[in-house]
Structure 1
Amino acid sequence: MIGYATYLEQTNTAQSDVFEVLAQDEEATEPAPEPEPENPPLCEHEAWSSSNIYTGGDRVEHNGNFYEAKWWTQGENPEQSGQWDVWKIASDCTEPELEDGYPVWTQSEVYVGGDRVMHDGQLFEAKWWTQGNNPNDSGEWDVWKAVQD
């Protein structure tokens, strides 16, 4: 693509300023695409802050340990979280196993409404918070629903 550039040059004389307009053909260039944002490495998480809001799946670092929120929380210290509390240790820093782009369901994982998982070749979506409920055992009124992607 060819573009045009216009330049304005000023020349000072004793009597007045003289302006001259110059036009020049230039090769137009496409703007460089913006770089894609990079996901931080799995074990590099923001430091936990009591004022931040976290939702299920958010990971933080606190005093050298990595934690994952099981559900919405604010101000709950991960170090003081027990088995039934909002935070769980996520120190293994491993990516979840994927099948067709979705995490594979595991009994120990916490899922919240809208989370999708693969189990026995079928895609399921959680309707609400769940842990340990096998998607294959869910009926119409249970936590998991089978979905078509």
Structure 2
Amino acid sequence: MNFSIEFITVFGGLRSAIRVARVVVETVALNHSNVRWYVFGDDDTIFLPENLVKTLSKYDHELWYYIGAHSEIYEQNRLFGFGMAFGGAGFAISSSLANVLAKVFDSCLERYHHLYGSDGRVYSCLAELGVGLTHVPAFHQILHACASHLR
């Protein structure tokens, strides 16, 4: 999908954050059948499919769920909020919620053009819909200092 200059001008803010945030809308717009969950993460997020399926199967995809985890870095939580799922850990949105979110997302982006990241924009739009984070520890970031031994 093309990303026009007009879109960037209207919404303002960091181009990459807007583009990544709109992936939610564009993924829902693909209108795949039998989708229960939409799962998003950063370019360096690692998902273990078996664990992800097991974790999400505990929740009803027909209800509104925003599942993930806050940052493991206190300063990030202090700056961006303890109720937000961080993209580095990944997050999931139930299909019923994603369909509603997609309808209001662009107008929401206009209101939150000042936010830094795409995950913060998604969180703010979900908060407007009255949906809080369902904190699931299975979604977590691997911090650089913790992963340095993996090199």
TM-score bin (small chain): under 0.3
Higher relative contact order (CA 8 A, sep 6+): 2
Of Structure 1 and Structure 2, the greater helix share is in: 2
**TM-score where L is the length of structure 1:** 0.28
